[in-house]
Chains A and B, each alone.
Chain A
Amino acid sequence: MKLSPQDQKLIHNLEPSKFSKEGFLGTDTRSVDEIIADDLRTLRQAGVTKESLVKELRDAYQKAKLAFGAEVAIRENVKAVFRESMGRIPSPFCKDGLFEKGEAVVIDHANNLSLIITSLGINLIEKHDFFQGRGCRFRIDPLVAIKIFRLLPDT
């Protein structure tokens, strides 16, 4: 299928590049559209809105960031550590801007789960519904996030 120049650029940008060592798709063989559709469906089935998930991610990210690399408790058995790095990374989506590079590593000791939250990762979910491909270090799997943050269905 022929793709518009914008879509061609997006697909190119999602691959490993000068900015992203592993790319945004990981080992996922699904297309971007399928990844987005599947993850949104997962969220809907869990009854959680994207907005409440984004808010949790952003709060955890900020909390970890302000601790300068020290471990902070997000909730019981859930800890986060911020790893700084210099510079900024551009979003793979066109006209989306630059994002700081630090990452918040969130670990849920009770469930043995972990997530890596970045400012770009939050933006990709918020603006593009894109949680990144399976096997990507920075994928924010909706199910994992829901478990870690104990998100309940919004009423």
Chain B
Amino acid sequence: MIPGSILFSIGISVGFLLATGLILAALLIVAEKKILNYGACRIDINEGERRLEVPGGGTLLSTLGENNIFIPSACGGRGSCAYCKVQVTEGGGMVSPVEEPHLGAEERKNQIRLSCQVKVRKDIKIHVPKELLSVRKYRGKLLHKRPLTYDIVELRIELLEPNNIDFVAGQYIQLESEEYNGHDRVMRAYSMSSLPSDKSHVELMIRKVPSGICTTWVFEHLREGQEVTFSGPYGKFHISGTDAEMIFIAGGSGMAPIWGMLRDLKERGIMRKATYFFGALTQKDLFFVDELAKLQQEVSWFRFIPALSNEPAGSDWKGERGLITDVVARYMPDCSKQEAYLCGSPGMIDACIKVLKKGGMTEDRIFYDKFA
């Protein structure tokens, strides 16, 4: 028989602990609802071009994403890739320590912020490049994956949802890889090589990168018939409206946007003079040579010059030899009247710009996309 006083104190103890727990839990729940609820906020994009009414509290990047405005981002909002920069003119709050290293003095003056670090807590005014507003998320089906060389494949994707895309030759998309071997989904940028008139398909050229998360997925895990997701179109790399002669320089998978541009020119009947310098190491790095030679025969305005830098001396190669920059300099000693379109690695682009400037070309006539 347990004495009543013991039962009483057990009751009090248990009751007290229970009450404390419940009260504190209720307090925290109410606090979260009250304190961290910012109510509805308005996002004004490009001075009224688009107006959104959104629930506050989230980051600018994710809030825009929920409203189908896709700012490019590779890290998924961790503040480490610095791709998601936008101009926030009002209501952005303080620059966080995470953003600081990614923002230069000029960017700070222009109120550039990392949209993944800006919280939507009140009405916000932002400016984004106009073309970003037409970026959509797409779902498609992989029709073909065919090797172009030993380390480059071509993908042809049929669009499912939405089923058509409006873009300009030279723009790129961000392909999303799927999880494999414990690797997260990642987004990586690839130029489109397909024709803008073929609105229901997208073609890409992808080179295998050792230790590349997305390219390893493309090469080893992605199968024909599989569904893929991507967003786009992005980028300002496209053919200008002038009628200046054009110099295209690209090697490897850098051919993708150029291939799209050349076919687009032909289809639209534009007769601007154009020369394409295709730089590669040896013959096994070349591809689409027959197609490009055929284009050269079909139209009068196009000239194709493949050049190999490392082809063995005694081989059967009849074309140009040497570094692509030297070959360009040889063919175009004076290029002050031309425009140049470059696609490739940052190192190649820098070297080409040097050569072209030496030939008298001004920087405003050189176009390229370094992918942020």
Physical interaction between A and B? yes
What sequence of 0s and 1s flags, for each residue 177-191 of chain B, a beta carbon within 8 Å of any chain A beta carbon? 000001111101100
Contact of A18 among B186, B189, B210, B371 (CB under 8 A): B186
Task: State in angstroms the CA–CA spacing of A18 and B77 once bound together.
Answer: 11
Q: Does B229 contact A (CB under 8 A)?
A: no
Within 8 Å of chain A (Cβ to Cβ): is B89? no
Check A66 for interface membership: any CB of B closer than 8 A.
yes
Known: A18-B213, A97-B102. A90 touches B82 (CB 8 A): yes
In this assembly, does A96 line the interface, its C-beta being within 8 Å of a C-beta of chain B? yes
Encode contact with A along B301-327: 1 for CB under 8 Å, 0 otherwise. 000000001100000000000011000
Q: Which of B78, B81, B216, B324 contacts A68 (CB 8 A)?
A: B324
| Contact mask for chain B residues 70-90; partner A; CB cutoff 8 A; 1 contact, 0 none | 000011101011100000000
Contact A19 B101 (CB under 8 A): no
Are A102 and B76 interface neighbours, CB within 8 A?
Answer: no
Inter-chain contacts of A97 with B (CB < 8 A): 101-102
Residue of A17, A84, A94 most packed against chain B (CB within 10 A): A84
Known contacts A19-B80, A84-B348, A87-B189: A68-B211 contact under CB 8 Å: no
Residue of A nearest to B253 (CB): A86
Contact partners of A22 in chain B: CB under 8 A: 211
A92 CB to nearest chain B CB (Å): 8
**Partner pick for B184 among A18, A65, A66, A87, CB 8 A cutoff:** A18
Chain A residue at minimum C-beta to C-beta distance from B254: A86
Asked if B76 and A87 sit within 8 Å, CB to CB, the answer is no
Interface residues of B in 326-364 (CB under 8 A from A): 344-348, 351
Q: B211 contacts A21, CB within 8 Å?
A: yes
Interface string of B110-145 (1 = CB under 8 A from A): 000000000000000000000000000000000000
**Within the complex, which residue of A65, A66, A90 is in contact with B75, where a contact is CB–CB below 8 Å?**
A90
Q: Report if B100 contacts A (CB, 8 A).
A: yes
Q: Write out, one digit per residue, whether chain A residues 92-113 have a CB within 8 A of any chain B CB (1) or not (0).
A: 0011111011110000000000
Q: A19-B75, A19-B80 are in contact. Are A95 and B347 (CB under 8 A)?
A: no
Check: A69 CB closer than 8 A to any chain B CB: yes
Q: Does B269 contact A (CB under 8 A)?
A: no
User: A47 interface residue, CB < 8 Å from B?
Assistant: no
- Please give 16 more A-B residue pairs, beta carbons under 8 A apart, in addition to A87-B74, A97-B102: A17-B184, A19-B74, A21-B212, A68-B251, A68-B323, A68-B348, A70-B323, A82-B347, A85-B212, A86-B345, A87-B371, A87-B372, A90-B75, A95-B97, A95-B101, A102-B345
B209 at the interface (CB under 8 A from A): yes
Q: Does A13 contact B (CB under 8 A)?
A: yes
Q: In this complex, what residue of B is CB-closest to A64?
A: B347
Contact bitstring B200-224, A, C-beta under 8 A = 1, else 0? 0000000101111100100000000
Name, among B82, B101, B351, the residue most crowded by chain A CB atoms within 10 Å (CB to CB): B101
CB-contacts of A35-73 with B (<8 A): 65-66, 68-71
| Interface SS majority for chain B | loop
Cβ-defined partner of B346 (8 Å) among A90, A100, A138: A100
**CA–CA, A127 and B371, complex, Å:** 26
Bound form: Cα–Cα A20–B214 in Å: 11
Q: How far is the CB of B107 from chain A (nearest CB, A)?
A: 13
Whether a CB of chain A sits under 8 angstroms from the CB of B281 is yes
CA distance A70 to B216 in the complex (A): 23
Contacts A90-B80, A97-B102 hold; do A18 and B74 have CB atoms under 8 A apart?
A: yes
B196 close to A (CB within 8 Å): no
B232 within 8 A of A: no
Interface residues of B in 11-63 (CB under 8 A from A): none
A137 to B102, CA, bound (A): 27
**Distance in Å: Cβ of B229 to nearest Cβ of chain A:** 16
Given B189, B310, B345, which contacts A84 in the complex, CB threshold below 8 Å?
B345
User: With the chains together, A88 CA to B213 CA distance in Å?
Assistant: 13
Task: Looking at the assembled complex, report how far the CB atom of B185 sits from the nearest CB atom of chain A, in whole angstroms.
Answer: 8
Give the chain B neighbours of A21 by CB distance below 8 A.
183, 211-213, 216
